[in-house]
Structure 1
Amino acid sequence: MTPPATHISPLANDEIHIWRSSWAGGAGERAFAGILRSYAGDETVPIERGEHGKPHFGPPHDGLGFNWSHSGDVALLAVGRGAAGFEVGVDVETVRPRARAIELSQRFFAPAETAYLRSLPTAMQLQGFLTLWTAKEAVLKAHGGGLSYGLHRVSFSLNEEGAKPEAFEGDVGDAAEWQVRPLSLADDLVAAVAWRGAQRALRVFTFPL
């Protein structure tokens, strides 16, 4: 079931809309497809896939950028409007024990990020790791390169507000061009949304399946 277009709040160019739903074996993706077509005002527009699998609309709807992510049974959809080719990325991770968090950081993150995580009290390392991971994934999903681009090529510092872009490499662009915002959804979830350009207001909606 998809909410009718009249129930979709207008999406301004200075906003990012976040939809939360249940994944339910892929049902969330089907619901998101209906929501996106409501934003586009076209119930027949196909969702295409980029080289690394990123979903997008072709012209004339390519000013509507979107991305989705799921962890366990929680799914998030991020949507924004802009010039043709505008992109947004989102990532969500469920908080669960990860005994190898520091080892994974050493393998995939920039050295300074791993050093910072090692400096944290053990009880805070997992939260720090997931905050960095979701920020990196959100940027690389917006960019379209995904994990194959290299998590270490987008590095961040951590502060009370979340992950702050510090140094990006390659065609992802300069770190200063990007906005990366944490999403406070629940104690057992860590999530982030990212886009290139000016700051935007975030609006969060829930769509129950």
Structure 2
Amino acid sequence: MSDAPPPVPALGHDEIHVWRTPWSGGAGEVAFASLLAAYAGAGSPSIERGEHGKPRFPPPFDTLGFNWSHSGDVAVLAAGRGPEGFEVGVDVETVRPRARALELSKRFFASDETAMLEALPDVERLPGFLSLWTAKEAVLKAHGGGLSYGLHRVSFSLSAGVVMPAHFEGDVGPASGWRIQPLSLGEGLVSSVAWRGHERRVRVFTFPL
């Protein structure tokens, strides 16, 4: 069996590639490492970890930004190219009953976001909560600060199930510099991908194990 990385579609500066794969005992992370080696090309280095655990490539390979997330038995990888230090973040959550969604929102979200969730009909509250949660996580994972930065410091508006950046505090701001896009990964999953900079086409692929 060849150890060569698998072929991947060409990834330009106008796209974000998202890969979905099963997650079982870390097998998804192994698959992602092979995909990233293929994107990086000859001389692909080992994946490093930032201060808060975010995976990355060292210079000069840091023009390829990437991030992964998993929930239940599904994992997703997002990758994009940009200037040195380009970053992308992704989060996926499995839809399941969350009786404490409003309690979590009051504890971790901005007050305006909690008010928006409280105003929603019951049937729309969980999807709204997960849309906000995955958008926040995607931004903070791209930024590199993770949850320790504070979910309330990246706030969004929520209208008809669509989240839009509203106010980002500190060095993650301004909100206008970010692009956040929901991902359609199938029933039972809510996911978002985020990056700084211009609009890009997001393409979703499947990596079977």
Shorter-chain TM-score: what band?
over 0.9
Paired position in structure 1 for 2:49: 49
Q: Post-superposition shift, 1:109? A: 0.2
Q: 1:66 matched to which residue of 2?
A: 66
Q: Which runs of 5 or more structure 1 residues have no equivalent in the other structure? A: none
Aligned length: 209
Pick closer, same or farther for the CA change 1:88–1:44 going to 2, 3 Å: closer
Cα distance in 2 for partners of 1:113, 1:87 equals 26
Shift of 1:7: 2.5
Aligned to 2:155: 155
- 5 Å matches for 1:1-150? 5=5, 7-42=7-42, 44-150=44-150
Equivalent residue of 2:192, what SS?
strand
SS at match of 1:21: strand
Measured in 2, the distance between the counterparts of 1:72 and 1:150 equals 24
- Following TM superposition, where does structure 1 have runs of at least 4 consecutive aligned residues deviating by more than 3 angstroms? 1-6
Q: 1:10 to 1:44 in 2, by over 3 A?
A: closer
Partner of residue 186, structure 1? 186
Q: Distance in 2 between matches of 1:133 and 1:87?
A: 19
Q: Distance in 1 between matches of 2:123 and 2:163?
A: 18
Superposed CA RMSD in Å reads 1.6
Give the Cα–Cα distance (whole angstroms) in 1 for the partners of residues 168 and 69 of structure 2: 22
- In the TM superposition, what is the alpha-carbon distance from 1:4 to its structure 2 partner? 5.7
Contact 1:49 / 1:56 at 8 angstroms: preserved in 2?
yes
CA distance in 1, matches of 2:70, 2:32: 12
Counterpart residue identity of residue 92, structure 1: V
Normalized against structure 2, the TM-score is what?
Answer: 0.96
Deviation at 1:161, TM superposition (A): 6.2
Give 1:123 shift: 1.2
Task: Out of 21-30 and 34-43, give the one that drifted further.
Answer: 34-43
TM-aligned CA distance change 1:2 to 1:56, over 3 Å: farther
Q: Distance in 1 between matches of 2:145 and 2:2?
A: 30
Residue pair 2:131, 2:161 contacting (<8 A) in 1 also: no
How much identity, in percent, do the aligned residues show? 67
Counterpart code for 1:151: L
Superposition deviation, residue 163 in structure 1 = 1.0
